[in-house]
Structure 1
Amino acid sequence: MLKYTHFAIVASFFCLWLDSFFGEKAQIIIAFSLIFTFGILHGANDLILIKRTNGAKTNISFQKNLLYYILVVVSGLLFFYILPIVALLLFILVSAFHFGDQQGLYLDLGTSKYIQVMYPFIYGIFILFLLFFFHSHEVENIVTDIIRFKVSTLFIKETLLISGFILMSLSAYFYWRIASIRSKLETELFFLLVFAILFKTSGLIWGFAIYFVIWHSIPSILDQIRFIYGDISLKNFKTYCKNGFFYWLASILGIGLLYFLFRDKEIFNALFFSFLAAITFPHVFVILKMMHKSIPK
């Protein structure tokens, strides 16, 4: 993945350069196009991953796995409707761990399991709130649409500062205690600098799309292809896309239906992000199981 990170850095700054050539509407269209393709695609093979991670331990059929998966998604949507503030908070917490975990911070650090879970979680929280901090007023409006009452932007700054302090403290501790991961820590802290520049100089949706697609979705797709098929190749990528096509199509149709029904109403943003959150919940736990199953024992 080292070669890919070099590509990711170049691609990120190239996207920032493109930023000056597109207006806000064009950026939003391109950003959502990327999210709707690579972003949703990276969760389109979860049912295959469930089967691979379970192996011979279970005889649950594909149809039952699909039913359970749909029930989790529907439950997520209902959760956002009934208890939006709790659902949003849970979504942020789960997504934060997922982002940190995808960065490769699930390595065996030779410490307690609680600290090993906390580190990728804090890393992910810092990334999310770094983005929120540079676009606090836009985030405030979206959150208000979802939870149906206004929240203070001060909360974003405080969370960023606290998570940053914890992250740097843990990083310093690991850097001092575990020589084998010092290079990894240096690299990840450098990436945070790249993300800060990215989020500061781009709009909310554009910056999120660049991070979500280039730094999260594509690396996840590569990890999944390697886990399912054994190696990364164009043939395996085509197979991956083919196997995930119907789930991807169903997600796109679901978002399209929401837009058709509620595009002129204020609640569309709330419904849109609630739908994305709902399809994210089961994906996070599937990927977590896959990544930890891939770690050499």
Structure 2
Amino acid sequence: MRNWLIVATFFCLWLSTQLPESIQNSLAYFLILTFGVLHGANDIQLINKVKKDKQKKNNYLYMYVAAIVGVSLLFLVSAQWAFYFFLIISAYHFGEQHFAQKIKVKSQFDWALFVSYGSLILFMLFYKKINKVEMIIVEFTGNNTLNIELIFWVSAGLFFGVITAYAILKKIQLNWFAEVLLLGVLYVVFEVASLSWAFAIYFIFWHSFPSIKDQLYLLYGDYNKKTWLSYLKSSWLYYSISIFGLLILYLVFKERTDYFITLILYLLAAISFPHIVLMSKLENLKANSES
């Protein structure tokens, strides 16, 4: 899968040099609203996979809905702290999805690897598009107290320190050339592409597609056209609800926002936390079944 992802990323990088920013943004929104939202739209099926007991399934479903409501309320109480919380859990989620299956010996410090890698990706993008990002953060939270450059370098230093320690202790198995190549390619993408398009290239090709692949293997035991169709069939309801929620957000905030990506971030933030908790449980389940 990695090979075609690299090819797709280079193709999208080439598109970045050929298309105006408005077209790049439209493509980004399309990918985020299709595959991006889709990768978290089968959580109900995944809950059924994780929880065999009916009562436990219902309890987990109630907790799932409560988490969405809770995060939404947090944004109403303090958009700034909700945004910081969203960044941290997103960073953890990106790092966990990327490294969980590559760790040979789990430890209590795996969270540091996950958060530092996810933060490196996010803040590398923010650093390369710092002016636009700062305007969006102000629109999103009301002010900007993030030192983006400092957080980028701290995240980079922490990640390389942790990954070096894991390598020395032989806790992780990596294709080091592929990992360095990916970071280099993403750096160039973040430099050349528009903010929305750059985020979409990473989020869709290097997070959503690999996540969907893992979900297909867990749910159906294989990754092919048939399982893709089954996945789409079982996820359409939650996907439709997510898109409907975005439409409501757009109607409510369309006069108060300059950036459509801000509305997408609101949607992703609301549905991300319970999805991240669920996927983390699935990673633990997978690790326990393989040990």
| TM over 0.5, shorter chain | yes
CA contact (8 A) 2:126 2:148 kept: yes
CA distance in structure 1 between the partners assigned to 2:144 and 2:17 by the alignment: 32
Query: Which of 91, 96, 105 lines up with 1:96 in the alignment?
Result: 91
Counterpart position of 1:59: 55
Determine whether 1:172 maps to 2:161: no
Determine whether 1:221 maps to 2:212: yes
Query: Which of 16, 22, 26 lines up with 1:25 in the alignment?
Result: 22
CA distance in structure 2 between the partners assigned to 1:259 and 1:149 by the alignment: 21
CA distance in structure 2 between the partners assigned to 1:123 and 1:268 by the alignment: 27
CA distance in structure 1 between the partners assigned to 2:12 and 2:60 by the alignment: 38
CA contact (8 A) 1:106 1:292 kept: no
Give the percent of matched residue pairs that are identical in Structure 1 and Structure 2. Answer: 32
SS of the equivalent of 2:52 reads helix
Counterpart position of 2:250: 259
Q: Name stretches of at least 5 consecutive residues in structure 2 with no aligned partner.
A: none
Task: Write the deviation string for residues 28-58 of structure 1: whole angstroms up to 9, x where unpaired.
Answer: 11110000000000001111111211234x5
Q: How many residues align?
A: 288
Counterpart position of 1:81: 76
Change (3 A) 1:161 1:61: closer
Query: Which of 88, 95, 116 lines up with 1:122 in the alignment?
Result: 116
Equivalent residues in 2 for 1:155-166, closer than 5 Å: 155-166=147-158
Equivalent residues in 2 for 1:175-186, closer than 5 Å: 175-178=167-170, 181=173, 183-186=174-177
Counterpart position of 1:135: 129
CA distance in structure 1 between the partners assigned to 2:201 and 2:101 by the alignment: 23
State the shift of 1:71 in Å.
2.4
SS of the equivalent of 2:257 reads coil
CA contact (8 A) 1:47 1:65 kept: no
State the shift of 1:106 in Å.
5.4
State the shift of 1:185 in Å.
4.2
CA contact (8 A) 1:98 1:124 kept: yes
AA aligned opposite 2:27? I
Change (3 A) 1:157 1:268: closer
Query: With structure 2 as the length reference, what TM-score do the two structures score?
Result: 0.92
CA distance in structure 1 between the partners assigned to 2:234 and 2:34 by the alignment: 15
CA distance in structure 1 between the partners assigned to 2:220 and 2:197 by the alignment: 32
CA distance in structure 1 between the partners assigned to 2:32 and 2:79 by the alignment: 23
SS of the equivalent of 1:264 reads coil
CA distance in structure 2 between the partners assigned to 1:94 and 1:132 by the alignment: 17
| Aligned residues: CA RMSD | 2.0
CA distance in structure 2 between the partners assigned to 1:72 and 1:89 by the alignment: 17
Change (3 A) 1:185 1:163: same
The list of structure 1 runs, each at least 4 consecutive aligned residues, that deviate by more than 6 angstroms after superposition, is none
CA contact (8 A) 2:40 2:275 kept: yes
CA distance in structure 2 between the partners assigned to 1:253 and 1:225 by the alignment: 25
Task: Write the deviation string for residues 133-169 of structure 1: whole angstroms up to 9, x where unpaired.
Answer: 00011111111112112436xx111111111111112
Task: Write the deviation string for residues 101-158 of structure 1: whole angstroms up to 9, x where unpaired.
Answer: 1112454454641x22211211111111001000011111111112112436xx1111
